[in-house]
Amino acid sequence: MYNVICVKFGTKYDEAFVRKLYQDICDKTQSEFKFYCYTDRWDGPSEGINLIWPLGKPTLKRVWNKLRLFDIAMPIDDFHKTYFFDLDVKILKDPLIDLDDWSKITIIDSHWKTGKLYNRLSNYDVKINSSVIAWHPVKCHDIWEQFNTGFRDYYMRKYVGIDRFIVHEEIEYNTFDHSYIQSKKYQPNVDYNASVLTFEEIQVGIKDLI
């Protein structure tokens, strides 16, 4: 049994993206899972989707709401291994794989990135991507606790998003095998028979995920 959760705050993506993600995982996986959406608004039916409303202060902006998933107050089943998916990913085959190590988060290794990347304590770009994250809830509450301190607003000002926060604040992580993820933007001609396709900074409509 797995928890599967996505985050939908603001108006960039509507409920159709959530329903698409849920249905695609239903179609592709053989594993049992419970699906959640952490959101500030919802219109229409939500069959099969467990809605989690904002947990209150602190109020976070945009992508920073992902970090709230590690809050001990997040009402998901702490006994189940958990997957997070961005709404602009395409599920190609069963994405709910068991991992060797659930003691820390597992995140995407953006091995296709080049140029100046993180190699010292500065605000350089980093070689990970949080479009997909896997973790065991009881092992990772310390990530939220490290973020939700007197430095919280400083982190949100300094870093573009949670990827840089994770690396530059030295949170331990594993990475998925390269064959698990394919980048539509950087690997258009590569066929890994991957589980998940990421679009990374490409503007995606619901038709792109079909």
pLDDT for 42: 95
How many C-beta atoms lie closer than 10 Å to residue 44's C-beta? 8
Tens-binned pLDDT, residue by residue, of the chain (210 aa): 999 999 999 989 999 999 999 999 999 999 999 999 999 999 988 899 999 999 999 999 889 999 999 999 999 998 999 999 999 999 999 999 999 999 999 999 998 887 666 655 556 778 899 999 999 999 999 999 999 999 999 999 999 889 999 998 999 999 999 999 999 988 888 777 899 999 887 888 898 888
DSSP, collapsed to helix, strand or coil, labels residue 80 as coil
pLDDT for 44: 86
Could you state, in order of their start, the residue ranges of all structural domains in the chain?
2-113+127-146+169-209
Residue 208 DSSP symbol: G
Looking at CATH, the fold of the domain delimited by 2-113+127-146+169-209 is given as Spore Coat Polysaccharide Biosynthesis Protein SpsA; Chain A (3.90.550)
Strands (E) across 60-141 are located at 81-85, 89-91, 105-109, 128-135
Q: Which residues of 173-188 are buried (b: 16+ CB within 10 A; e: fewer)?
A: bbbbeeebbbbbeebe
How many C-beta atoms lie closer than 10 Å to residue 153's C-beta? 9
